[in-house]
A and B are shown apart, each in its own frame.
Chain A
Amino acid sequence: MNRYARPLTVGLISASTLAYEILLVRVFGIEYFHHFAYMAIGVAMLGFGVAGTLLAVARPNRVTADSWFVWSAAMTPAALLASAAFVHLIPLDATQLAWDGRQWLRLAIVYLLLALPFAVGALPVLLSLLVEPQRAGRLYGASFAGAGVGAALAIAVLWIALPARALALPPAVASLGALSVARIGRGRALKASVAIVIVLSALAIARQPWRINVTPYKGLPQVEAFPVSRRVVEKTSPIGWVVAVEAPAFRHAPGLSLSYRGEFPRQIAVFVDGDIAGAVNTPAGTREDDILDWLPSATPYALGDMKDVLVLGAGGGSDVRSALVHEARAVWAVELHPELVALARSSVEAEWPSADVTWVAGDARRYVSAATRPFDLVTIGPGRAFGAAVAGVHALNEDFLHTTEAYVDYLSLVSDGGVLSITRWLTIPPRENVRVILTAVEALKRVAPNDLIDKLVVVRSWATATVLVKPAGFSVDEVRALMEWAGERRFDLAWYPGIEGPVDGFNLVDDPILYRAASAAVDGEDARRAFVDSYPFDVEPVGDSRPYPHHFLRFGSVRTFLSDRGSALPFAEWGYVALLATLFQSAVLAAVLLLVPVALRQRVGSRDLVRVVGYFSAIGLAFMSAEIAAIQQLTLLLGHPIYAVAAVLAALLVFSGFGSAWSDARPAQGSRLANLALAILLVVYAAVLLWIARWLQPAALAVRVAAAVVVLVPTAFLMGMPFPLGLRHLARGDGERVAWAWASNGFASVVAAPLSALVALQVGSRALLLVAALAYAGAAIVVARAGNSSFSVTARSRAPG
């Protein structure tokens, strides 16, 4: 075998499995919900560790390991194809897991099918380390670099192929790996097998053998089942699968006044990843546009003329139309999805061809950070579907639009008499609305701290609450105008300057929570703290370092859910529940599948064992924590999690690969220095990374991507070194120790993924970076205590087992 063949194979196989992982998250996010996708993929990752366990139990000699290396590389495309094809045939209904035992069996089959390609794909990597331990750095580096390229490929293919079709990419890449081993392997059976998997992979590209089944509980299949509906647009990009559906029975009017008696416009439903994202009105006359003045989001226009309006999260363009109907002079519409911008733009331009509307396809926080002109109105609509807020399916979504820093930025942009308006769906008891009120007042304290009581208005409809913030303060006439406008629409003013007590208006509530929240927020810190502490949900404002404004369950509440035998499910936040479930199942399965079998088979001395397990667990935890924290913080810089995932994974893995390869030339004891340097670097990151992200936010995307990569390079390079150096220093090329190293690293990585997400959710990404730093520092201590003995290629090289 020539010296490049093995690293090339390892690189290609690693590229295919990481691409598969990323594409699975997208596909499962569409088919089910994103939180379920993470839960499923979290278990699938166990496949990597299981491969190590299998080898630790089987203990192949070097010749056998080499033969297995060739065959596992040749079979990875088949495993990828089988997984993608069969997993879509299982009729799993994840919503019934709480009470339907059959679904658990289906879930187990799905897990097995998902884990299969990761287990098969991990074998060539691990076997290569067993066959050529003296080249651990280069081989592990090839795996890192391949994975980085795979991440970039997966994101790139989503620009041109629908997610289901994109699933054909990983088997194709793995086929190249199979091809490279077929050239060097022996035997007709091998060559025939490789030929078959290559043909099958080619067929999967030419004729997609699976289809995406979107759960019927999402809006898309429901609207498509309406009479005479038809799909009119279907676009894809890494940030979402956008579908527009024309259906006469579809109508979208969030929180429409019960007094409205006019006509409804014809609308096209727009979905992102199967969830409703808004509606695009087909060109209509003024009569159909009247409806816009009867929506809660029109509230700020009751204050008078809003000449320059900034719409954040323009969706299908409803708020842009509203601004034009209310005679705005100029409108700036910012929307993340370029496909939505195109749809909304064509609809608005057809009706108002000469209107001054600036359409921006991009991240709203980035736009706001770069904007220099003032606006009379900055407005954010309710978004999402009625009921989605109740279900808490977005609890785990990072959302930088509703952090305190974001509200400060918005308020800094409003003109002297300008207003910030935020409309959200109302839940019972209110959660998001309460947090919006508290966050708005917190931001006001930083921008215009005097007379807070005069600067806040809360308008409640039967389904929504709109918070208006005016740094200059509302006048008596303005409050009167709002009252009149709201009264005509049967909306209530839950809070306004001069209010003397809770208002019992058109929409009655048992407990005037919005009034109490606003009152506590403007009364001072003691009142605010007392309100927040006594509230059943966590409604404390969130910042950029913990951007989870849709997460409200307290950690301690989990006990209530468990003790109540599931009948509290209506209050569950499904993202949060899924995260805890993922952590639990990962810990249990990883312990059973990775650690126990290895423990039963190995006979390594106890002190060595503690060192190996401690070291490789620590670096596994550290790598994953640093990766997740970096993704979260750089999301603010790059504008979308998917860009951050692509940039961080590609940069981190490719440069870790270089670091890993370079480590072959370094003494094994260098792992102590590498770990220490990483600990220090990550502490620095915790202090400055978010600040850098905010500082560079106004720059062009290319500059921001370049900056993200540059910032990550030194850390990534170092992060590639602890594993191969540790193998040489602590495992010393011994098959048993290598197995322990792989198993404990795999265990820590699998458990660290949900654990890191939980840490980020509870205490933020800065704390997560510090956790990673602590873990690397711990690894450095383990190495220091192990002394200077290390693996010597010439003296101690031997086949494992």
Chain B
Amino acid sequence: MRFRATVESILLSLAVCSCSVAAQEQDEDPKFKSQREAMVRLIENYGVRDAVTLAAMREVKRHEFVPDGYRNQAYADHPLPIGYGQTISQPYIVAFMTEILSPKPEMKVLEVGTGSGYQAAVLAAIGCEVYTVEIFGALAERAAARLERLGYDNVTSRHSDGHYGWLEVAPFDAVIVTAAAGHIPPALVDQLKAGGRMVIPVGSVYGVQNLILVEKDDQGEVRTRNLLPVRFVPMLEGLR
């Protein structure tokens, strides 16, 4: 069983590499590449084990998704501002959320709150079919242009109110809501496939602290689970 899982993971990792070839064709500063490697090693040390997720994090050029003034901090493990009070989440949290969704190529994913487009790019690098909506017009435009420029043609974005989900292309295997405001819009639950997963990060500008995972079982029953990212568990011990 474990052997099968390992083989499956390796095959998916290879798929990730091939999916993102187009995006990686451009030359890049070797400094960023080594920083990205270090970032992935850190994420791995923090407990993210999913090979597919790690491969995607290794491939996506995060420095392309942060404002110019913050490029030299793109691979540091903390959030960065992108305007309109929004942030690009810290790399570890992006990896953790991605791993929780158990993403696979061809999976259809809805993202509510495109932000910089980085999370969408990571899912796209895995081979997911990503639909992403953003309420702030300027952010939506910028992210769409960026994703197109980097060759993520399996991401479809639009400027709209995430409250209604994306009915025309629903249902989704997974949903990420990065702009939760104290309630989960019913349409998002409805547009989640049976067996699907929705993840909602909760926190402040200083970082995501807890994650809410919504699971819809094969019978359509919905359950939630509050997750503490594993990286934070040892910190809590230190607070005692």
Residues on A close to B: CB < 8 A?
93, 95-96, 98-100, 215-218, 221-222, 225-227, 248-249, 251-256, 258-261, 264, 385-388, 390-391, 393, 425-429, 462-463, 490, 506-510, 534-537, 553-554, 557, 559-560, 563-564, 566-572, 574
Contact = CB atoms under 8 A, between A and B. Distances in A.
B41 to A, nearest CB: 15
B232 A570 contact: yes
A93 B209 contact: no
Interface stretch (B74-82, B116-124, B149-157): B74-82
Contact of B189 (A258, A463, A509, A553): A258
Contact of A93 (B73, B81, B235): B81
Interface residues of B, number: 50
Contact of A390 (B73, B80, B202): B202
B135 interface: yes
Given A218-B85, A536-B239, 18 more contacts: A98-B78, A216-B81, A217-B85, A221-B85, A225-B136, A227-B135, A248-B161, A252-B183, A253-B182, A254-B182, A258-B184, A264-B163, A386-B182, A391-B206, A463-B202, A557-B239, A566-B78, A570-B207
Contacts of A222: 84-85
A319 to B, nearest CB: 15
Smallest CB-CB A-B distances: 6 pairs = A391-B204, A428-B210, A560-B238, A216-B85, A386-B182, A256-B183
A253 B181 CA distance: 8
B206 A572 contact: yes
Contacts of A216: 81, 83-85
Nearest to B78: A99
What is the interface of chain A mostly: helix, strand, loop, or mixed? loop
Nearest to A382: B182
A553 to B, nearest CB: 7
Contacts of A425: 182
A379 to B, nearest CB: 18
B135 A249 contact: yes
A261 B206 contact: no
A537 B189 contact: no
A261 B186 contact: yes
Nearest to B213: A508
B170 interface: no
A603 to B, nearest CB: 50
B63 to A, nearest CB: 15
Nearest to B182: A386
B238 A217 contact: no
Contact of A570 (B209, B223, B224): B209
A560 B228 CA distance: 18
A116 B206 CA distance: 31
Contacts of B232: 568, 570-571
Given A227-B137, A462-B214, A506-B224, A427 B78 contact: no
Among A254, A256, A425, A463, max chain B CB count under 10 A is at A463
A426 B227 CA distance: 12
A255 B238 CA distance: 31
29 contacts: A95-B81, A96-B80, A98-B206, A225-B84, A225-B136, A248-B161, A261-B186, A264-B163, A387-B204, A390-B202, A462-B212, A462-B214, A490-B224, A507-B224, A507-B225, A508-B223, A508-B224, A508-B226, A535-B240, A536-B239, A563-B238, A564-B235, A564-B238, A568-B232, A568-B238, A568-B239, A569-B206, A571-B209, A571-B236
B94 interface: no
A570 B81 CA distance: 16
A474 B83 CA distance: 50
Contact of B182 (A96, A252, A570): A252
Nearest to B69: A102
B208 interface: yes
B206 A574 contact: yes
A40 to B, nearest CB: 18
A390 B203 contact: yes
Nearest to A510: B228
A508 B217 CA distance: 14
Interface string B175-190: 0000011111110011
Contact of A427 (B189, B208, B209, B224): B209
A567 B77 contact: yes
A227 B225 CA distance: 33
Given A252-B181, A252-B182, A258-B189, A427 B206 contact: no
A463 B202 CA distance: 10
B22 interface: no
Contacts, number: 163
B237 interface: yes
B182 A506 contact: no
Contacts of B236: 429, 536, 571
B204 A506 contact: no
Among B73, B182, B236, max chain A CB count under 10 A is at B182
A253 B184 CA distance: 9
B134 to A, nearest CB: 11
Contacts of A255: 182-183
A390 B210 contact: yes
Contact of B228 (A251, A429, A537, A559): A429
A225 B139 CA distance: 11
Nearest to B159: A227
B239 A390 contact: no
Interface string B112-133: 0000000000000000000000
A96 B161 CA distance: 29
A386 B137 CA distance: 23
Nearest to A490: B222
A428 B201 CA distance: 12
B205 interface: yes
A386 B239 contact: no
A256 B204 contact: no
Given A227-B135, A386-B180, A507 B203 contact: no
Contacts of A427: 209-210
A510 B226 CA distance: 8
B131 to A, nearest CB: 18
Interface in B26-55: none
A387 B239 contact: no
A247 to B, nearest CB: 10
Contacts of B212: 462-463
B148 to A, nearest CB: 23
A259 B183 CA distance: 12
B105 to A, nearest CB: 29
Given A221-B85, A536-B236, A569-B206, A507 B226 contact: yes
A560 B237 CA distance: 9
B222 A553 contact: no
A81 to B, nearest CB: 30
Contacts of B222: 258-259, 490, 506
Contact of A462 (B84, B181, B184): B184
Contacts of A100: 70, 73
Given A255-B182, A260-B186, A387-B202, A462 B224 contact: yes
Contacts of B227: 428
A393 B205 CA distance: 11
A554 B135 contact: no
Contacts of A95: 81, 205-206
B67 to A, nearest CB: 11
Contacts of B237: 536
Contacts of B210: 390, 427-428
Contacts of B209: 390, 427-428, 570-571
Among B135, B204, B227, B238, max chain A CB count under 10 A is at B204
A567 B240 CA distance: 17
A256 B185 CA distance: 9
A509 B237 CA distance: 18
Contacts of B214: 258, 462
Contacts of A426: 226
Contact of A553 (B186, B226, B228, B239): B239
A128 B55 CA distance: 71
A681 B240 CA distance: 39
